Amino acid sequence: MPETSLSSDSSPFAEVMERAEEGFRRACTALARHSGDVHSLRAAVRSAARLTKTLAITVDSIAGHAPRSVGQSEVAADLVADLKALRNCLATGAAVIDPALDDLQHLSGRHDADAEFARRYQEWASATEPVRRP
């Protein structure tokens, strides 16, 4: 796995990105060590989903900065549209993985759907702060 961080120190989402990235690395390392372990697989998939959600939120924040950073309004509008399309793809990808997480939850012997829903909702709610627009 590359050693470069996905975030920068100047980003307001840097700490969140770094935590998601580190969690993903740990989960992938555990999966490599414990190949065939459904708990490790579930942790890796969950970490990938968390990282994808965090990337979607970060891309949305970047889109909010684009109009101020690009002088030409036509270019800025195209850039914002492209970034929003990327954000939507990332958000959709993160949502698509939920059924796989449910399947892995059942395979791992964890059947507390209410607790899992509450955990996912709390994770989503804490990560989706409104982006301030100029």
Both tokens of 80, joined, read 């914002």
3-state SS of the chain: helix, strand, coil percent to 5? 75, 0, 25
Q: Which residue has the higher pLDDT, 79 or 69?
A: 79
Q: What percent of the chain has pLDDT over 70?
A: 72
Q: What percent of the chain has pLDDT over 90?
A: 13
Residues 29-53, mean pLDDT to the nearest whole number: 86
8 A C-beta contact, residue 111 and residue 105: yes
Q: Which residue has the higher pLDDT, 123 or 18?
A: 18
pLDDT digits (tens, 9 = 90+) for 80-116: 999 999 999 999 998 888 888 888 887 877 655 566 6
* pLDDT score for 7: 43
Confidence of residue 6 (pLDDT cuts 50, 70, 90): very low
Which of 96, 92, 6 lies closest to 45 in space, CA to CA? 96
Both tokens of 102, joined, read 């449910």
pTM: 0.67
8 A C-beta contact, residue 101 and residue 52: no
Instruction: Tell me, rounded to whole angstroms, the distance of Cα 9 from its chain centroid.
Output: 18
Residue 9 pLDDT more than 80? no
Residue 25 pLDDT more than 80? yes
Both tokens of 78, joined, read 């195209």
